[in-house]
Structure 1
Amino acid sequence: MRIAVTGRTGQVVQSLIQRGPQAGATVIAIGRPALDLAWPDGVLAALAEARPDCIVNAAAYTAVDKAESDEELAMAVNAEGAGAVAAAARQLGVPVIQISTDYVFDGALPRPWREDDATGPLGAYGRSKLAGERAVAAAHADHVILRTAWVYSPFGQNFVRTMLRLARTREEIGVVADQIGSPTAATDLADAILSVAAGLVARPGDGILRGVFHAAGGGEASWADLARAVFAASRAIGGPAAAVRAIGTADYPTPARRPASSRLDCGLLAQRHGVALPPWRDSLGPCVAALLAGGEV
């Protein structure tokens, strides 16, 4: 199976490249300048060159706070660009997997979010990703939209890397404790994507495998919970650690509002695709070890 994935350096892309071989997949990463979602005219040619059996759109505008003042570019990349990728997949006759986000929800539900719950993004980034979901669905019937959340990995910038870096110079770190979500290891997400892709390719006429699904790590945590777990894993192997001081969202103002609860119910993915991501705590230790071994924090 040949999988073309948009982007080159992102956490999901790098994880797909790492995990692809053991799933029997050749992963071809295509990013700028060959493919730029802000300029959709070149998307088809770039993807066609890879001769894919499936396309994964993992590239995105992900600067959540910056998007508040740059919504036009966020929409160009996350909505129009995503639609162009799906249209290219339709022209190439292959399925497309669109990576989306918990930020399409407003965070007000007291239970984990299901796929059929009403969306209501709080900010520009979430609006752009929701527009991308709709553009993909309109452009190509043979699609899967995978919403994920709180992604961390040994690659790129993410919360786990930031906590380890801060712990090298601080004894105590204030971390938001009133936002709850589903931490997700990008490597686990990559395994899920590869499994979903294999199913789409093997069963081209099976509509039950198409549509919107949630794919996130098992369990839940606040950002403060996640930080404490990071430091416990780091401390256990002689790495940096700091005390965590729980703070409220109001104590850490940002340009973009975040959902208070973005826990994702992933039961539908397990039911229809037979895919369930491991508990986030199981995957955190290896990620922390990899980051420390890389000497980049």
Structure 2
Amino acid sequence: MQTYWGIDLGGTKTEGVVLSSPSPDAVVIRKRIDTEAHKGYDHILKQMVDLIESLQAETGLKPERVGFSTPGTFDPARQAMKNCNTTVLNGKPMKQDLARLLKLPVEVANDANCFALAEATMGVVPDVVPNFQTVFGVIMGTGVGGGIVIRAKGRDKRPFVLNGLQGLGGEWGHNILEENGHPCYCGKRGCVEQVISGPALQRYYQQVSGQELAMQEIIDRYQQGNDLIASQTINRMLEFFGRGISVILNILDPDAIVLGGGLGNIDLLYTEGVERARKYIFNSREIHTRFLKPKLGDSAGVFGAALL
């Protein structure tokens, strides 16, 4: 039996899955363990190898290859990880080390890429745009990230992740959106992530109001219409989302954009957020791209890893 094996490496939890086919209904086994990232790089590798061995023992199956979803990017030029918020991974040859330890071919992709691949292959996109050519997957939550999925041409029309020459494909979260905006850990100011991520919006509300609120509370106050600063914060999010996503529309012109992460649940992004983007696209204010809510929830990362 052909099987698909994926590992979703998170800062706190690491999840493994075995699929009997590329479908969310074809789960043979799923299992989560603690990542224990504080114990260092070698321990993280051991946790992932142990998880795969546990999946093998419980199913009696053996993988031919394994895909890994990671909290950063594998740089093909340097053959090392970079931009990982699990910082012990940065600069490490994780792909090679996993292949050596497992004695198997492995593929590594950023978690946003895996999210995009899963939703494009077995999630919401096939339901709405089955013959797509390009899909952009957005992560808007604690951070802002993205992934590009393209359908191959010719006889083999399987979707694949566009990683790019330097592993930067889809990385829209660190383009400058607000001139002289808030400093970002990447070294620039006013990055998309520092403007429309959840923490950035909460920070803006607190700076203006002097009151610290969770993002959901800000949304609730906006919907109740009794908090001027909450309205100001949400309008800021919508305006800058429109500006930021218009760049993706102008460059990729995708068939669909799937909005994941905690902020992807905000209905206004699919209506007013898209309306704001109309002002900035190079297409006479017309947007035919479908903006879609994800279907797979927190399973998208590990499913996407299995599809790599």
TM range (shorter): 0.3 to 0.5
Higher helix proportion (structure 1 or 2): 1
Q: Which TM-score applies when normalising by structure 1?
A: 0.35
Higher strand proportion (structure 1 or 2): 2
Q: Which TM-score applies when normalising by structure 2?
A: 0.34
Higher-Rg structure is: 2
